[in-house]
Amino acid sequence: MALSIRASTGPRQFSTRSGLGGGSVRLSSSSSAGSMGGGFGGGSLLSFGGGGASSGIGLGSTFGGGSSSGFGGGSTAGFGGLFGAGGEGNLLSGTEKETMQNLNDRLAAYLDKVHSLEEANTELERKIREWYEKNGPGAGGPAAGRDYSKYYPIIEELKNKIISATIDNARIVLQIDNARLAAEDFRLKFENEAVLRQGVEADINGLRRVLDELTLTRADLEMQIESLNEELAYLKKNHEEELQGFQSNATGQVSVEMDAAPGIDLTKLLNEMRAQYEVVAEQHRKEAEAWFNEKSGELKREISSNTEQLQSGKSEITDLRRTLQSLEIELQSQFAMKKSLEDTLAETEAGYCGQLSQMQLQIGNLETQLFQVRADMERQNAEYQQLLDIKARLEMEIETYRRLLDGEIGSFESASVASTKSVDSTPDPTKTRKIKTIVEEVVDGKVVSSQVREVEEKL
């Protein structure tokens, strides 16, 4: 709290140009504390000379935190034209002593007012100090509950949690999309495997029908074998019976003597023939075995090559099936993506169509308003032109009445004055007045059209 009073008095002097010298008094007071402050400032000035004197005092206070109040007051008093040239002596009609007495009385009244304002200033300072002690920070008042600094860390933490939750949500959405795509791929694979399973089941059913046919054929063949075995047993039995009958019929002895030349040794001959046939048979067997080995080797090589070709064909078919499945999966995924993009495009088109319709409605409304504004402007312009015409006609009528009145007055004066002297009267030059009207049409701060009308009137 600081209070200072300064007073200064200058030398008194008298002059016909500059008035009486005076003094000045200034009172100022200010105070501040913490983040909330209040200030009171006042000033008073009393001066004589140069045509006047003035006095003023001002009070002001400011509080932080968004509240402010101010008090001010002032008074002025001036004395001008002291001892000035010409009519400057009207204010100082008495002597110098009376003038100084008058000035001293006014100064005393001014000082009394300064003291009263100083007391009001002190009272306001006391009230502000009491309010600050009652409602300021740390005082436990209502303003103490408005300190939100302790909530800033909580707000920052909640913001971080919201950001992390948003990131987690985006990650979960991405995982859901990936899982949806994976599920779609697995569904396509399942459908393909189901198709393959149906094909395999159809093949199995066909093989079962073939197996049933083969089983029936086997049963028929077994029945034929049984019948043939029975027939063979029957034939064997008949053959044995015939042999027994022949043996029973040939039980007698027959003695036959023949006179013949000594015979050939059949055993030796048979052995030689057997040896020859065995050599030929062995040779044929070796040839047949060599031919069989050669043919079987060729057949084995052909079978191995065919087996390799078959395995390569099977592997190629498997690869082609896998490629086909992957291409079908990719095709289905592309179809799904195409469908989603088409849905997104349709939604976007619908949104933009709605926005376009809204914009078109707004444009239509603005055009309607613009048309109405133009119609109002044209109507007002027509009314303005009518008013200008009426004004011009009224001015012409007024001018006519003025001329008539001037003519009547002139005739009256010429009749009342008895004089034989003739007076040449030259008419006043004709006066004209030009009225220039500029009408500008402004849309969105830009001048769209401008019209200039100029009306010339005779005065």
Q: Residue 257 — very low, low, confident or very high, per pLDDT cuts 50/70/90?
A: low
Query: For residue 6, what are the CA distances in angstroms to 9, 35, 45, 58, 107?
Result: 10, 30, 11, 16, 16
| φ, ψ of residue 229 in degrees (nearest 5) | -65, -40
- In the predicted model, what is the mean pLDDT of the chain? 72
Q: Quick check: 339 pLDDT over 70?
A: yes
What is the spatial distance between Cα 48 and Cα 237, in angstroms, rounded to a whole number? 178
How confident is the model over 120-153, as pLDDT tens digits? 999 999 998 888 788 765 555 554 456 677 888 8
- Segment 374-386 mean pLDDT: 89
Q: Quick check: 10 pLDDT over 70?
A: no
Rounded to two decimals, the pTM is 0.25
What is the spatial distance between Cα 295 and Cα 305, in angstroms, rounded to a whole number? 15
- Segment 12-33 mean pLDDT: 36
Most confident residue range from 356-365, 395-404, 443-452: 356-365
Q: Quick check: 79 pLDDT over 70?
A: no
How confident is the model over 413-448, as pLDDT tens digits? 444 444 433 334 444 446 666 776 777 777 776 777
Any idea what DSSP says for residue 143?
G
**What pLDDT score does 251 carry?**
54
What is the spatial distance between Cα 168 and Cα 405, in angstroms, rounded to a whole number? 98
Residues 6+ apart with CB under 8 A from 387: none
Biggest CA–CA distance in the chain, Å, is 231
Q: Which residues pair with 453 in a beta bridge?
A: 437
**What pLDDT score does 11 carry?**
38
Give me the residue spans of the domains in the chain.
2-141
* Range scoring the smallest mean pLDDT among 99-108, 174-183, 214-223, 427-436: 427-436
The residue with tokens 């001008």 is 80
Q: Residue 224: count other Cβ atoms within 10 Å of its Cβ.
A: 10
**What pLDDT score does 124 carry?**
92
The residue with tokens 């083969």 is 214
What is the spatial distance between Cα 58 and Cα 45, in angstroms, rounded to a whole number? 11
Q: Quick check: 273 pLDDT over 90?
A: no
Tokens representing residue 19 in the block: 């008035």
Secondary structure element (H or E) that encloses residue 236, with its range: helix 151-249
Secondary structure element (H or E) that encloses residue 437, with its range: strand 432-443
What is the spatial distance between Cα 137 and Cα 260, in angstroms, rounded to a whole number? 167
* Range scoring the smallest mean pLDDT among 81-95, 169-183, 348-362, 373-387: 81-95
- Segment 334-349 mean pLDDT: 87
How confident is the model over 94-116, as pLDDT tens digits? 577 887 788 888 888 888 989 99
Q: Quick check: 119 pLDDT over 90?
A: yes
Q: Quick check: 41 pLDDT over 60?
A: no
**What pLDDT score does 263 carry?**
56
